[in-house]
Structure 1
Amino acid sequence: MHVLLRITTPLRIPTKNAIFNHRFLRSEPESYAKLIEIYTHDRALHQGKKLHALLTTNGYVRFNLIASNLVALYTCCGQLSLARKLFDKIPQTSVRRWIALIGTCARCGFYDHALAVFSEMQTLHGQKPDNVFVIPSVLKACGHVCDRVYGEQVHCLILKCSFEIDAFVSSGLIVMYSKCGKVEDARKVFDGMVMKDLVALNAVVSGYAQQGLPNEALDLVEKMKLMGVNPNVVTWNALISGFAQKCDRVMVSEIFRLMIEDGIEPDVVSWTSVISGFVQNFRNDEAFDMFKQMLHHGFCPTSATISALLPACATAARVSEVNRAVPEIVISEFDDEWEICNGSQQSEGEETDSKPYR
């Protein structure tokens, strides 16, 4: 039986001594692999390197599971050259190494690298994605770099391998097409799903909203409700964002009403979506009106709210209003921008008391 790695301590990372203490960790590959996963989650590169040295000494680094997890650790910590060096030492017959590298690259934001490795897997080594789990990572990377052409090639491969029946793959296709601006293709994938779920619905709704088609998104939500797929707060916030970007205050209010009627309370993301939409369309007065309403309803602005509102801070009075409403810990994330706002208004001779918290 394996010893649990975290049992009585609140610390996520075991101490340096615990790594070499067999009372904490037995000499079994699965236990070491689990410890590497913990280090990967916490971006603990220093501890990971020490453990790698130990595993090299005792020979466990030759286990594919151990090596693949180390690849994931180094990739997640941005050490791509170290990850690749270790990756090349893993036997080429191991599918796990490809999944580890591609998945971690996509998860940690190295999207171009993920696509390059996937292409290498297909061309240089002649390996097809026999494992369906690698496909969502590839689709995620395609969406983030907006590579529609490559995404379509992956879609063809999915059909060839009969992976389209997998719900995660279908949802990945929907998100990819939506991010690439091909919401009509995303809708086709959605309509072709045998079992439509909320994740897929939210992906299509977000795609419609981002493309300025909130009415189509609302129609789909109403249709899916009749089929038993009820929207959640993510769905409603996507609709709010879509109508806010169109500066349609009437429909924004209507979505808020429908949301509450559906038993879901608006959250700070709901209000921030409205503020962001108005600011993007230079409707600063309306953005601040929504900001006041958000405060009136008892919501504390987040850093995302302030980021959305910053471009609308054209007067000292508004800067002061935001400063009074927002905790210093949130404002501190925008020190440079806030100094510019304060300085520009003071240079114009306006009276300001914009730093009551500072």
Structure 2
Amino acid sequence: MNQRAIEPGRQLHAHLCLTGLGYDTKLATKLVNLYSVCGSLSNAHRLFDRIPKSNLFLWNVLIRGYAWNGPYEVAISLYYNIIDYGLVPDNFTFPFVLKACSALSAIDVGRDIHEHAIRTGWEMDVFVGAALIDMYAKCGCVGDSRQVFDKIHVRDVVLWNSMLAAYSQNGCAEECLSLCGEMALAGVRPTVATLVIAISSTANIAALPQGRELHGFSWRHGFEIQDNVKTALVDMYAKSGSVKVARNLFERLTEKRIVSWNAIIAGVCESVKCDNHTDGDQR
């Protein structure tokens, strides 16, 4: 909880209560948002329960808070309360509640919410689509992720990255790299996230030639200066046996995080193991 940010909010709330404005719908909605963003969900929910609930934004704020911080079951329960209340979820509601489904691997609930998205006409929205792709991927149903992706014809880079991540998370490295090719043909400019996902996929199958191609692309387009890209390259080269290249990239990292150390240590250990095997064979 962000105590420094929450204290002025509490003081404002107390002042509004004293002046009789504590439960004004517009002001209370802003306070619910403040409490939620600061992680004070008990205060947010307590205030939510005391004011009229005809405003969808108010519901979305509270669902978002629980989807980010848990308990995730509460976010799902609030979603169904929206339906019972007669309100129609929008393209903010669906991504929030689907995030909660992802956290719980609640595939049956996720499918039910997907049906709601179809009925309300939000399935083709890129934000809802990205959330559906992520939910199915986190539940191990990457085929369903691809079906959602294929139905959406107007795709931004976020949607492409969501599908690439879905393949990568489920160990479908070749499918991920193939989709990168489709993305290039579609003329969609990659982001740092795109390259990290693609490079990680080459690392997982020790596909050094493709990894080198992605390294070259990163360098030509100025992505190599990003530590996230360099860390992915360290991991890729280390897993592919090119430990010297991995170490050179590692030394150029601006900030050496634990994931970077893990990648280079694992690569060095594997290299030493291979050298020992070679020495043993020669003996």
Please give the TM-score of this superposition, normalised by the length of structure 2: 0.81
Residue of structure 1 equivalent to 2:199: 240
Which has the higher mean CA deviation after the structures are superposed, 184-193 or 219-228?
A: 219-228
Residue of structure 2 equivalent to 1:20: none
The answer to whether the 8 A contact 2:82-2:89 is kept is no
How many residues are aligned here? 268
CA distance in 2, matches of 1:257, 1:159: 42
CA drift at 1:304: 4.4
CA distance in 2, matches of 1:255, 1:303: 22
CA distance in 2, matches of 1:109, 1:288: 41
CA drift at 1:96: 2.9
CA drift at 1:56: 0.9
Residue of structure 2 equivalent to 1:150: 109
**5+ residue gaps, structure 2:** 270-283
Residue of structure 2 equivalent to 1:30: none
Residue of structure 2 equivalent to 1:86: 47
Residue of structure 2 equivalent to 1:58: 19
CA distance in 2, matches of 1:254, 1:150: 41
CA distance in 2, matches of 1:43, 1:73: 12
Residue of structure 1 equivalent to 2:35: 74
CA drift at 1:255: 2.2
CA shift in 2, pair 1:115/1:238, >3 Å = same
Residue of structure 2 equivalent to 1:137: 96
State the Cα deviation string for residues 140-191 of structure 1 (Å, max 9, x = none): 2222332222111110000111112322111221222222222221111111
Residue of structure 1 equivalent to 2:152: 193
The alignment partner of 1:60 has SS state of coil
1:178 aligns with 2:137: yes
CA shift in 2, pair 1:144/1:132, >3 Å = same
Residue of structure 1 equivalent to 2:219: 260
CA drift at 1:127: 2.9
Matches within 5 A, 1:208-287: 208-261=167-220, 263-266=221-224, 267-275=226-234, 286=241
| Higher relative contact order, structure no. (Cα contacts within 8 Å, ≥ 6 residues apart) | 2
**5+ residue gaps, structure 1:** 1-39, 316-358
Answer with 1 or 2: which has the greater Rg: 1
State the Cα deviation string for residues 49-94 of structure 1 (Å, max 9, x = none): 1111011112222222221222233233333322221111111333
Residue of structure 2 equivalent to 1:204: 163
CA distance in 2, matches of 1:182, 1:95: 30
Residue of structure 1 equivalent to 2:277: none
The alignment partner of 1:265 has SS state of coil
CA distance in 2, matches of 1:271, 1:256: 9
Please give the TM-score of this superposition, normalised by the length of structure 1: 0.66
CA shift in 2, pair 1:222/1:309, >3 Å = closer
Matches within 5 A, 1:303-314: 303-306=257-260, 308-309=262-263, 312=266
CA distance in 1, matches of 2:88, 2:248: 51
CA distance in 1, matches of 2:260, 2:196: 18
Residue of structure 1 equivalent to 2:63: 102
Query: 2:253 corresponds to which letter in structure 1?
Result: F
Residue of structure 2 equivalent to 1:340: none
CA distance in 1, matches of 2:4, 2:82: 26
CA drift at 1:97: 2.2
CA drift at 1:254: 2.9
State the Cα deviation string for residues 168-219 of structure 1 (Å, max 9, x = none): 1112212222222222211111111121111100111111112222221222
CA distance in 1, matches of 2:135, 2:106: 9
CA shift in 2, pair 1:69/1:225, >3 Å = same
Amino-acid identity (%):
29
Residue of structure 1 equivalent to 2:278: none
User: What is the RMSD of the two structures over their aligned residues, measured on CA atoms?
Assistant: 3.0
CA distance in 1, matches of 2:16, 2:244: 60
